[in-house]
Amino acid sequence: MNDIDAPASENASELQQRVADLEQQHEHLMATVEILEEISGTLHFVDILQRITRKLGELYGLDRCSIFLSERRGTTARLVASYEDPSIRNYIVDLERYPELKRALQSGQTVFIPDGTTDPDLKHIRSVLEQRGAKTISVIPLAWRGVVIGAMFLRTFREGQAFSDADIRFLQTIAHLTAKVLRNAFKYERLAQRQAETSELARRANLERVALVGFLKRLLNAFSKYDGAGAEGLLSESAGEELDRLAEVAMTVLHEEGKGR
C-alpha cells in the first residue's frame, strides 16, 4: 500500500509545483502587460521610470525599488526614480557608498545579495538594513546595444518573499524593456528639444527680417525727403516701368521663398 501511495504523492507534488510555476508565469505576464500599458501613455523618461518602480514595488512589496542612470565619469550615478519616495527625481549618489550598484554598472551583470546584513561590502549600512528589516538586494543593469546606461535596484523585506530564479529572469526582462523604452523616450525628448530650438531660430530670423525691412523703409523715406519728392521725375517713363516690374518680380520671389518652395 505504501509503495503505491508514494508515486501518487510524488506526482501530486510535481503537479502542485507545475501549477505554482504556471501561476507565477501568468503573474509575470500580466505585470509586463500592465507596465506596458502604463508607460505607453507618456514619452517622458522620468515618468516612465517612476511608473515602473511603482509597479515593481507594489508587485513584490519591496522595501526599496529605484532606478539609477549612469554618469559619464563612472564614479557617480543619478537616482531618477524611487518607489519609496516618488519626489526624488534627480539625485546624485557616490558609487563608493553603493558597491553593489557600482559592480552591476561596471560588469553589466546582475548582482544578487542573499542577505545585505551579512555582506562584508555593506557593513557600513548594516545597522540601517537591520533597522529597516531589509534582506535581499538585487541590482539589474539596464543595457542598450551592449552599453550599460543604468540599473534597477531592488531590496526586499526580511519577512517578505525572496526572489526566485524565475523572478530574476522576469526582472531582467523588465530591465531590457525599460532600457529600450528609455532610449526611445530619450530620442523623442531630443527631437522635441531640437524642434523647439528650430522654432526659436525661425522666430528670431523673422524678427530680424522685420527689423531689417523696417530699417530700409525708414532709410528710403529719409532719403526721399532729403533728395526731394520730384527726383524720380528725372527717370524716363520706360525706366520707371522697369523698376516697377523688377519690384513686382522681387516680391513674387520673396513670397514663394516664404512658402518653402
Region 5-10: mean pLDDT is 62
Q: Are 86 and 151 contained in the same domain?
A: yes
In this predicted model, which residue has the larger pLDDT, 91 or 25? 91
Q: 176 and 53: one domain?
A: yes
Q: Is 213 part of a structural domain of the chain?
A: no
What pLDDT score was predicted for residue 14?
A: 76
The pLDDT value given to residue 239: 66
> Comparing 252 with 70, which gets the higher pLDDT?
70
Domain boundary, last residue among 188, 218, 250: 188
* 176, 243: one domain: no
- Higher per-residue pLDDT: 18 or 229: 18
pLDDT confidence of 10, banded at 50, 70, 90?
Answer: low
Q: Are residues 148 and 78 in the same domain?
A: yes
Tell me: do 29 and 117 sit in the same domain. Answer: yes
Domain presence at residue 23 = yes
Domain that holds residue 22: 9-188
Query: Does this model's pTM top 0.75?
Result: no
At residue 248 the predicted structure's pLDDT band, cuts being 50, 70 and 90, is confident
**CA dist., res. 59 & res. 30, Å (int):** 11
What pLDDT, on the 0 to 100 scale, is given for residue 139? 96
Q: Is residue 3 part of a domain?
A: no
For residue 138, give the nearest of 90, 96, 170, 186 by alpha carbon.
170
Angle at 249 between CA 246 and CA 252, to 5 degrees: 150
Q: Does residue 21 belong to any structural domain of this protein?
A: yes
Please count the other Cβ atoms lying within 10 Å of the Cβ belonging to residue 93: 15
- For residue 204, what is the DSSP state? H
Q: Is residue 201 part of a domain?
A: no
Residue 154 and residue 79 share a domain = yes
pLDDT of residue 19: 73
Q: Would you say 142 and 179 are in contact if contact means Cβ atoms under 8 Å apart?
A: yes
Work out how many domains the chain is built from and give that number. 2
174/235 same-domain check: no
Task: Say if residue 132's pLDDT is above 80.
Answer: yes
| pLDDT band, residue 183 (cuts 50/70/90) | confident
Is position 70 within any domain?
A: yes
CATH at residue 155: 3.30.450.40
- As a whole number of angstroms, the distance between CA 79 and CA 62 comes to 17
**Average pLDDT for 214-236:** 63
Percent of the chain past pLDDT 90, that is, above it, reads: 29
Look at residues 188, 205, 221 and tell me which one is the last residue of a structural domain: 188
From CA 103, how far away is CA 211, in angstroms rounded?
59
Residue 181 lies in a domain: yes
Q: What is the mean pLDDT of residues 226-250?
A: 66
> What is the C-alpha to C-alpha distance for residues 105 and 97, in angstroms, rounded to an integer?
14
CA distance 184 to 45: 9
Query: Per-residue confidence at 228, pLDDT binned at 50, 70, 90?
Result: low
The verdict on 234 and 184 lying in the same domain is: no
Q: What is the mean pLDDT of residues 26-53?
A: 73
Give a yes or no: residue 207 inside a domain.
no
- At 133 the pLDDT is 92
Question: According to the model, what pLDDT value does residue 2 have?
Answer: 54
Residue 251 has pLDDT above 80, yes or no: no
